[in-house]
């Protein structure tokens, strides 16, 4: 097998020491890394270089990182570009990975470089998808909900629902195990690709966003307190 082309990570961070530390660790892990100290430089570099993933600091001198992320999500050329946000406060997390901003994941300062490298790997694997799943000719129908696996299309009452790649993967995972409770850590491993033991609220935030998008089928995704989530299989036929 030919050697894999090193994936290109753009690190957007105005604190030079931190940018260097992140870049060094990512290079050690085999990635190609460039850095940008400001939002404006970052947006120009993203257009020009088309990186595979962006590590984006929330506090930048010219524009908040959340605004950079929102702009990327609004542009068809970058709407699926994986973004890991670096935040200073845990409280911002819901907003950062939520519908409004749309980052794929986050780390909270101070974070270990190793943790960031692990998350970069997981987000890239997720973005690449799993071809064996997408190639299966399969449509899963549950009540008002129809999941067309090869087309990556979801419909509720016949209307197309626009899901991110991650939301689709999450819904499909729940649908394939419908009726059975899926613990958060199992979802983290299968959908996010995290090693066991990684603690994150990302599952809850993404389920919340998925429910909002499912509209009339939002109550199909049940919360099982203290355990995880389940896709109901006791819904009436459409
Ligand atoms: Ca900063």
The rounded Å distance from CA 16 to ligand 1 centre is: 9
10 three-state secondary structure: strand
Rounded to the nearest angstrom, the distance between the alpha carbon of 59 and the centre of ligand 1 is: 4
Ligand 1 centre to CA of 218 (Å) is 37
In this structure, are residues 134 and 149 in contact, taking their beta carbons and an 8 Å threshold?
A: yes
Q: Which residues contact 28 (CB under 8 A, 6 or more apart)?
A: none
Confidence of residue 189 (pLDDT cuts 50, 70, 90): confident
Q: What is the CA(15)–ligand 1 centre distance, in A? A: 6
Looking at every residue in the chain, the average pLDDT score rounds to 86
Task: Give me ligand 1 centre to Cα 147, in Å.
Answer: 41
Instruction: Read off the tokens for 156.
Output: 């509720």
Q: Rounded to the nearest whole angstrom, what is the distance from the C-alpha of residue 167 to the centroid of ligand 1? A: 29
| Average pLDDT score over residue span 3-20 | 90
Q: At what angle do helices 16-28 and 113-128 cross, to 10 degrees?
A: 60
At 135-164, the pLDDT tens digits run 455 888 888 999 998 888 999 999 999 998
CA of 96 relative to ligand 1 center, distance in Å: 15
- Confidence at 28, pLDDT banded by 50, 70, 90: very high
**pLDDT tier at 133, thresholds 50, 70, 90:** very low
pLDDT tier, 76 (very low <50, low <70, confident <90, very high otherwise) = confident
* Fold classified for 8-127: Rossmann fold (3.40.50)
Instruction: Tell me how far the alpha carbon of residue 98 lies from the centroid of ligand 1, in angstroms.
Output: 21
Q: Work out the average pLDDT over 162-186.
A: 88
CATH 3.40.50.2300 domain residues, the chain: 8-127
This prediction has a pTM of 0.60
> How far apart are alpha carbons 178 and 172 in whole angstroms?
9
Q: DSSP strand E in 60-143: where?
A: 83-87, 105-108, 139-142
SS3 label, residue 56: strand
CATH of 133-231, one of 1.10.10.10, 3.30.1300.10, 3.40.50.300, 2.60.40.1180: 1.10.10.10
pLDDT at 224 > cutoff 90: no
In 3D, which of 60, 62, 34 has the Cα closest to residue 49? 34
List every span in the chain annotated with CATH 1.10.10.10.
133-231
Tokens standing for residue 224: 């099982």
Instruction: Determine the Cα angle at 37 with ends 36 and 40, to 5°.
Output: 75
Strand ranges in the chain using DSSP code E only, listed in sequence order: 8-12, 32-36, 53-57, 83-87, 105-108, 139-142, 145-148, 153-156, 159-161, 182-183, 221-224, 228-231
Distance 107 CA to ligand 1 centre (A): 13
Task: Please list, in sequence order, all residues whose beta carbon lies within 8 angstroms of the beta carbon of residue 125, skipping any fewer than 6 positions away.
Answer: 193
């Amino acid at each position: 097998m030919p050697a894999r082309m090193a994936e290109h990570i753009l690190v957007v961070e105005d604190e030079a020491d931190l940018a260097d530390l992140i870049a060094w660790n990512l290079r050690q892990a085999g990635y190609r890394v460039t850095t940008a100290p400001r939002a404006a430089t970052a947006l120009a570099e993203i257009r020009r270089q088309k990186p595979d993933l962006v590590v984006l600091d929330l506090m930048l001198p010219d524009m908040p990182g959340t605004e950079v992320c929102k702009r990327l999500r609004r542009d068809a050329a970058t709407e699926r570009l994986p973004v890991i946000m670096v935040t200073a406060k845990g409280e911002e997390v819901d907003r950062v990975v939520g519908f409004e901003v749309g980052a794929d994941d986050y780390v909270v300062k101070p974070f270990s470089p190793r943790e960031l490298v692990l998350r970069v790997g997981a987000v890239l694997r997720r973005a690449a998808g799993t071809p064996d799943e997408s190639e299966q000719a399969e449509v899963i129908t549950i009540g008002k909900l129809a999941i067309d696996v090869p087309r990556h299309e979801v419909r509720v009452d016949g209307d197309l629902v626009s899901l991110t790649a991650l939301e689709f993967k999450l819904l499909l995972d729940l649908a394939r195990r419908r009726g059975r409770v899926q613990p958060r850590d199992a979802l983290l491993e299968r959908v996010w690709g995290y090693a066991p033991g990684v603690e994150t609220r990302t599952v809850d935030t993404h389920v919340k966003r998925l429910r909002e998008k499912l509209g009339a089928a939002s109550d199909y995704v049940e919360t099982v307190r203290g355990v995880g989530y389940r896709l109901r299989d006791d819904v009436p036929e459409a």
